[in-house]
Chain A
Amino acid sequence: MDDKYSRAFNARYMSFEEVARSFIVSDHFISIISCEHTILTGSRGCGKTTLLKMLHPKALNEWNNSEANRTKSEIPFIGIYIPADRQWKSQLDSFERKFDKNKDFVESIFRGVVNSNILIAICSTFSALIDINNIDESFEIDLSLKLIENWKIPTPIAPNLDDITIKLRKMVGDFNSIFHLKNEGQELPEICNKDFIDLVSLGIDCFESLVRKRKLVSIKYRNKWALCFDELEIAPKYLQNELVNLNLRSRSDQRIIFKLTSTPGLAELSEKKDVIRPSEKDDFSILKLWIYNSRSQRQWREFCNKYMTKSFEKRYNCKINLKSLFGEHNYIDGLKSVESFDFSKNKSKKQSEFDEGGTMWNVMYLLQKYDDSFKEYLIRKNIDPDNPIPKNSSQTDAIHRKIKPIVLYRYYFTEKSVRANKNIKLRSRNINAFNHGIDYIFDIADGNPRAFANLVNEFIDMVIFNSDKSIKKIDIQIQSRIIEAFSINYSYLRIRNYPKNEIKNNDLLLYEIIDKIGEYFFKRLVLDDFNADPIIFFYVEKKDKNLREFVDIALESGAILKIEEEINKKGVRNNIDVYRLSYSLYPKYKLPKVNYNPISLSSILNSQKTFIDYSQPNLFTNILE
C-alpha cells in the first residue's frame, strides 16, 4: 500500500524495532517509564501505541544513542505489550450479541480470548529477553516446559515459546466452532476460568525462578513487570472493570504495574460515582497525550522540533535551520505575501504597527470603511475610525492587540457588499496566507505524531540551498497551500469518511456536525457583526444527552479535543467540559488559532440551516450575495 498520507508513522503497522528506529524521546516517555500505574489518554494517532511499544525489550534494544542509553537505564520494569484493535472488539461484540442471554458463558469465552492474548504477549517479551541476552536454547526449553505445566497448555506440544504462541492462537480459533454452532454446552479449557493476573504471576514466577537457578547475571533484569494494555476502551467491559477498579487500586502481585492507553471518553475513568474507585495521583497517574494547555503545547513543539530536525538531517546529511526554512508565524507577513498594497508607511522605525501609517493601522482603516459593525465598535471604544491609533499603551494591549487577528481575518476574507441590506460579503481567496511558519506547522498537527509525520513528508523535499550553502525560505504561499491540502486531504478526509458516522437521534452525520461547528465559528468571526470576543470553543449542556454520543465519536476520531485550564470558560459551569475542533481542521474552516469564547453545541446546530461548501471555494461569493 503506497498511501502517502496513511502509511507513515502508524505504530500499529510497525515492528518493535521499526518503532524504535523512528522514535523521538518525549516528556511523555519520561513520564511513562516511572514505576507507577499510568493511563495514557488521547485520540487516534496521538502516539499512545508508540509509547507502549517502546517499552518492549525488542524496541529498547534497538534504540541506541547516548540519550537512549541514559533513559533505558532508568526504566525500572520490563514491558509486556498487549495489543487490541477494532477488528478484535467487533468480534467480541458479535459474540456477545449472539449469546446475549448467557452472560457467564460470554465472560468465560472472553476470559479465554483475553488471557490467550496476554500470554502470547508474555511469550513475546520472554522470547526477546532470551534473544537479547544470548541465553542458551535450554533455558527456553525449560521455561516453556514450566509455562506449559503452569498455564495448563494442552499437550502434546513442543517446548518452545513459538509453539506455545501457536497453541494459544489455535485455542482461540477453536472457540469459533462454539461461536458458529452456538454450542454453549461445550466444556471450555481452563484458560477460560482463570484471572489473567494469576496467569501472569505464574509466568513471571517461571521466568524468575529459572533466572535465579541458572544465576544468569548477564540478563538485564529488573524486578518489576509492566503490563502494557493498548486501547483499553475497546477491551471487554469485564477487563476494563478489573483493570481500572481492581488492579490499579490494589496489586495482588507487587511485581506488576500497569500501563494503559485509552481514548479520553472511557466511562470507567470518568464515571467516578463509586467511592472505592482508584483515584488519580494516589493510585495511578494520567498522561494526557493531546494539547490541552500551554505546557502541553510547549512540550509538543519541542517534540516536533526534534522530529523535524532529525528527519531533515537524515534527508540532507546536514542540520537544517527550521526557522530559516519556514520563518515564524506572522499575520502581517502572510497578508503582505498576497497583497501588493504597501501597508507599512510608518514614519519612523520606533512607531508600532498600530500607529498612523503602520500596517495594522492601514488594515483597520480599510476595514472600517466598508465594515459598519467594526466602525461602530471603534466608535464605542472611543477610537477614531478614520485614524484608529491607540490612545495609550494600555489601549494597545486591551484593544488593538486583542482584536488584531479578528481584524485581519475580516479584512482578508471579506469585501464590501453591493446589497443594500448588507455591508460585507465573503471575498474569494485562493489561499489563506495566514497559515504559515514553523510554529504554526507544529501546532496544526495538534499533538498527533502521525499527522505531523505526514506533514513533514510534504515539506521534506523542498529545501533549496543557495550558492553560499544557506537555505532558501519556503515561500509563504507554498506553505499555505501545503498546509491547507494537509487539512483537507489528510485530517478532514479521515473525519468525513469515518465509518462510525451515525449519531443516534440526530439527522446529521459526524462530519456534518463538524462542518456546522467550523462554519459557525468562521461566520461568527468574519461575517457577523464585529465582536472582540468571538466564538471558537463549544460545550455540551447536560440536558443535551443525545449530543454526548457525538462528543464520544468525535473525540475518538480526533475531530475534536477537550480543553482544560487556562482557557477562558466564560459562561460555562465548572463541571462542563469544553471542546475545540482539532487545529488540523482550522485551515479547512479558515479559523485563526486563537483562544476565544465557548458556546453550547445545541446553539450552533440550531443556528444554521445551510452549509457553506468548502470543497468548492468558488461558491463563496455566491452564497451570501
Chain B
Amino acid sequence: MKTKYIKQIEKQDLLNINFDLIISSSGYEVRSTYLSSLLNNSNNNNKIVFSFSDLRGQNERNKNDNIFHKLRFNSIKCDGNNSEILIKNIDDYIISSNKDLSILIDYSSMTRVWYGSIINYFKNLVIQNRQIIIYFAYSLAEYNKPNLKDSKTSHFEPIDGFCNLSVPSIPTALITGLGYEKNKAFGLKEFFDAELLYLFYTIDNEFTFSVLDKNKELIDRTSREYILPYNINDVLLTKTILLDLCSNLKKNFRIIIAPCGPKPFTIISFLVAAELGSIDVWRISGETVENNFKAIPNGKIITFEICYY
C-alpha cells in the first residue's frame, strides 16, 4: 500500500477515535496497559494483545495480563524476536474485513522486530480500493536512571524487512539515535567502518542529560553538523529531518540506521526506510537495560496517524 499522509495527533483526539482493531502487547513494562486502560471500553472493537512468550518480570507481567483480560483483549503468545504470528493475525483480520479500517497499535512495549514488521507488512500489502489508517501510539515513561554496568549485546543484526542486498563499492553512512548505553554508537561506527556518522538525540526531556552523559566521548569528538538534536514530542518534524538527511546521503552512501534511543525514533527510522527503500535498520539491544527498565507511564502519549491506500 502507499502512504497517503502521515500526521501527529494529540492524546485527547486519539482517545476519541473508534477503532476497528486495537493491538497492544503485554510484557514486564508497567506502561503496557496504560493506553488500553484509557480507551472507551464499551466500543465493540476487536482487541488483540500479543503477550511475550518470555516471562521476564513475572509479577508485573501477571498484573498486565489480568488488566488486558478484564479489558477483553484476546491474548496471543508471541516470541519477541519473531513476528510471524503477529503478522499472520493482522493479515487474517485485514483480509477478512473487507472495508476501510482504523487500527490502533500501541507499540510502547513491543520489540523493534514487531513494530518494524508491522510497518513492513503495510508497505508490502497489496489490496485495492481500501483505506487503512494506522495509529502508532507510544506511552512515554517516567525518567529512569541508566544502568551503571554495560550490557551484553543480545541482538546485533539488521531487522527483517529492513535489510537490503547491496554491493560494497560505495561507503557506509551510519545514523544513530543515541540511547542510554555507554558509547554504543561509538562501537557501531568502528564496527562498520562507517565513513559518516550522524548522531540524533532528544533535547526536550529528562532523559537528555543521561543520554548526553553516556555518549559524552563520542559527542565531544563529533563535529556539530553531524549532531542532530530532535524533539521527541514533535515526531513529524524529526521524521522530516531524517528523511531529508537520508535522501541526500542515499546518492553516495549505503545507509544504516541504528536507533539506540527511544522507540519513537525507531519507528521514524522504519517509516523513512520504508519510504526511501535500500536503507538498513539495525537492532542493537542489550539485555540488562531492557530487563531492568520498568517503564512507568508518565501520562504523555505520542501518536503517528498513517493513512495507507
Please list the residues of chain A having a beta carbon within 8 angstroms of any beta carbon in chain B: 1-6, 10, 12-13, 83-88, 90-95, 98, 109, 113, 116-117, 120-121, 124, 165, 168-169, 172-173, 175-176, 179-181, 489, 493-494, 496-502, 509, 511
Q: Is B217 an interface residue (CB 8 A)?
A: yes
Least distance between A398 CB and chain B CB atoms (Å): 45
Question: How far apart are the CA atoms of A1 and B158 in the complex, in Å?
Answer: 24
B195 to A13, Cβ gap below 8 A? yes
Closest to B167 in A: A117
Residues of A within 8 A of B38 (CB): none
Interface CB pairs A-B, < 8 A, 5 = A85-B192, A113-B167, A169-B169, A179-B165, A181-B124
Assess whether B165 is in contact with A172, with CB atoms less than 8 Å apart.
yes
A489 with B217: in contact, given A1-B226, A88-B168, A98-B160 (CB under 8 Å)?
yes
- B16 part of interface (Cβ distance < 8 Å): no
The 7 closest A-B pairs by CB, nearest first: A497-B187, A2-B223, A88-B168, A94-B163, A3-B221, A117-B167, A497-B183
Nearest chain-A residue to B172 (Cβ)? A87
Contact indicator A90/B157 (Cβ below 8 Å): yes
Question: What is the chain A residue whose CB lies nearest that of B284?
Answer: A499
Closest to A512 in B: B150
What are the residues of chain B within 8 A of A10 when measuring CB–CB? 193
Query: Is the pair B169, A120 in contact by a Cβ cutoff of 8 Å?
Result: yes
Q: Are B191 and A499 in contact (CB under 8 A)?
A: yes
A88 to B182, CA, bound (A): 26
- When C-beta atoms are compared, the residue in chain A nearest to B171 turns out to be A13
- Does B297 lie at the interface of the complex (its beta carbon under 8 Å from any beta carbon of A)? no
Are A501 and B152 in contact, with the CB atoms below 8 A? Answer: yes
Given A10-B193, A86-B193, also A502-B153 (CB < 8 A)? yes
The reply to whether A509 and B190 contact each other, CB–CB distance below 8 Å, is: no
Bound-state Cα–Cα, A2 to B189, Å: 13
B192-207: which residues lie under 8 A (CB-CB) from chain A? 192-193, 195-197
Given the interface pairs A6-B189, A502-B154, the reply to whether A117 lies near B169 with Cβ below 8 Å is yes
A502 to B190, CA, bound (A): 17
Secondary structure call for the B interface = mixed
Which single member of B166, B196, B221 contacts A88 (CB below 8 Å)? B166
**A91 and B281 alpha carbons, distance in the complex (Å):** 11
A497→B186 contact, CB < 8 A: yes
- Contact, CB under 8 Å: A85 / B153: no
Please tell me if B75 contacts chain A, counting CB pairs below 8 Å: no
- Please tell me if B61 contacts chain A, counting CB pairs below 8 Å: no
Task: Check if A4 sits within 8 Å of B221, measured CB to CB.
Answer: yes
Nearest-CB residue, chain A, relative to B255: A87
Known: A94-B160, A501-B152, A501-B153. A86 touches B191 (CB 8 A): yes
**Alpha-carbon distance A95/B158, docked complex (angstroms):** 10
B156 is an interface residue with CB less than 8 A from chain A:
yes
Query: Within B159-186, which residues are at the interface with A (CB < 8 Å)?
Result: 160-161, 163-169, 171-172, 182-184, 186
B188 on the A face (CB < 8 A): yes
Q: Quick one: given A84-B168, A117-B169, A499-B191, are A91 and B196 in contact (CB under 8 Å)?
A: no
* A-B contact sample (6 more), CB < 8 A, given A493-B183, A498-B187: A4-B221, A86-B193, A176-B277, A489-B217, A493-B186, A499-B153
- The distance from the CB of B147 to the nearest CB of chain A, in whole angstroms, is 13
Distance A498 CA – B183 CA, assembled complex (angstroms):
10
Q: Does the CB pair A498–B160 fall under 8 Å?
A: no
The 8 Å CB contact of B280, one of A1, A13, A87, A498, is A87
A55 CB to nearest chain B CB (Å): 16
CB distance A12 to B166 under 8 Å? no
Assembled-state Cα–Cα distance A175/B163 (Å): 12
Is B31 close to A, CB under 8 A?
A: no
B164–A91 touching, CB < 8 Å: yes
Question: Within 8 Å of chain A (Cβ to Cβ): is B120?
Answer: yes
Residues of A within 8 A of B222 (CB): 1-3
Contacts of A83 in B (CB 8 A): 168-169
- Partner of A493 from the list B161, B166, B191, B217 (CB cut-off 8 Å) is B217
What 1/0 flags go to B251-273 for Cβ under 8 Å of A? 00010100000000000000000
Contact for B223 among A1, A12, A175, CB less than 8 A: A1
The residue from A92, A121, A500 contacting B165, defined by CB atoms under 8 A apart: A92
With beta carbons under 8 angstroms apart, the residue of A86, A94, A502 that contacts B152 is A502
In the assembled complex, the CB of A167 is this many whole angstroms from the nearest CB of chain B, namely 12
Report whether B157 and A120 are in contact in the complex, using a CB–CB cutoff of 8 Å.
no
Q: Does the CB pair A88–B167 fall under 8 Å?
A: yes
Residue of A nearest to B150 (CB): A509
Chain A residues near B195 (CB-CB < 8 A): 1, 12-13
CB of B129 to closest CB in A, whole Å: 22
Distance in angstroms from A17 CB to nearest chain B CB is 15
Q: How far is the CA of A176 from the CA of B167 in the complex (A)?
A: 12
Taking the nearest CB of chain B, how far is it from the CB of A210, in angstroms? 24
Interface residues of B in 43-101 (CB under 8 A from A): none
Alpha-carbon separation in the docked complex, A1 to B249 (Å):
14
Known A3-B222, A5-B221, A113-B165; contact A87-B184, beta-carbon cutoff 8 A: no
Which residues does chain A contribute within 8 Å of B8, judged by CB atoms?
A: none
Chain A residues near B153 (CB-CB < 8 A): 499-502
Contacts of A511 on B, CB cut-off 8 Å?
150
Q: Is the CB of B167 within 8 A of A85?
A: no
CA distance A5 to B193 in the complex (A): 13
**What are the residues of chain B within 8 A of A5 when measuring CB–CB?**
221
> Is B278 an interface residue when CB atoms closer than 8 A count as contact?
yes
Which chain B residue lies CB-closest to A234? Answer: B168
List chain A residues, Cβ under 8 A from B183: 493, 496-497
Q: Is the CB of B254 within 8 A of A87?
A: yes
Give Cα distance in the complex from A38 to B281, angstroms: 36
- Please name all residues of chain B whose beta carbon is closer than 8 Å to the beta carbon of A88 when the two chains form the complex: 166-168
A2 neighbours in B (Cβ, 8 Å): 221-223, 226
**A37–B223 Cα gap in the complex (Å)?**
43
* Chain B stretch 207-259: residues in CB contact (< 8 A) with chain A: 217, 221-223, 226, 254, 256
Question: Which of A165, A499, A511 has its CB near the most chain B CB atoms (within 10 A)?
Answer: A499
Task: Select from chain B the residue with minimum beta-carbon distance to A495.
Answer: B187
B167–A168 contact, CB under 8 A? yes
Contacts of A489 in B (CB 8 A): 217
- Residues of chain A within 8 A (CB-CB) of B182 are 497
Tell whether, in the assembled complex, residue B217 and residue A499 are in contact, meaning their CB atoms are under 8 Å apart: no
The listed residue with most A CB atoms (<10 A of its CB), out of B165, B223, B254, B280, is: B165
Contact A172 B187 (CB under 8 A): no
Question: For A85, what are the chain B residues with a Cβ–Cβ distance below 8 Å?
Answer: 168, 172, 192-193
Complex CA gap A46/B189 in Å reads 18
Instruction: Report the Cα distance A10→B277, complex, angstroms.
Output: 28
Given A5-B221, A85-B168, A179-B165, are A94 and B156 also a contact pair (CB < 8 Å)? no
C-alpha spacing A5/B186, complex, angstroms: 11
Interface-centre pick from A84, A87, A90, A95 (highest chain B CB count, 10 A): A87
Is there contact, CB below 8 Å, between A180 and B124? yes
CA distance A200 to B217 in the complex (A): 46
Q: Determine the distance from Cα of A445 to Cα of B164 in the docked complex, in whole angstroms.
A: 37
Contact A172 B150 (CB under 8 A): no
Q: Are A87 and B197 in contact (CB under 8 A)?
A: no
Contacts of A1 in B (CB 8 A): 195-197, 222-223, 226
How far, in Å, is B93 (CB) from chain A's closest CB? 21
Q: Which chain A residues lie closer than 8 Å to B221 at the CB level?
A: 2-6
Contact present for A12 and B171 (CB under 8 Å): yes
A90 to B162: give the CA distance in the assembly, Å: 12
Once the chains are docked, how many angstroms separate the CA of A83 from the CA of B166?
A: 12
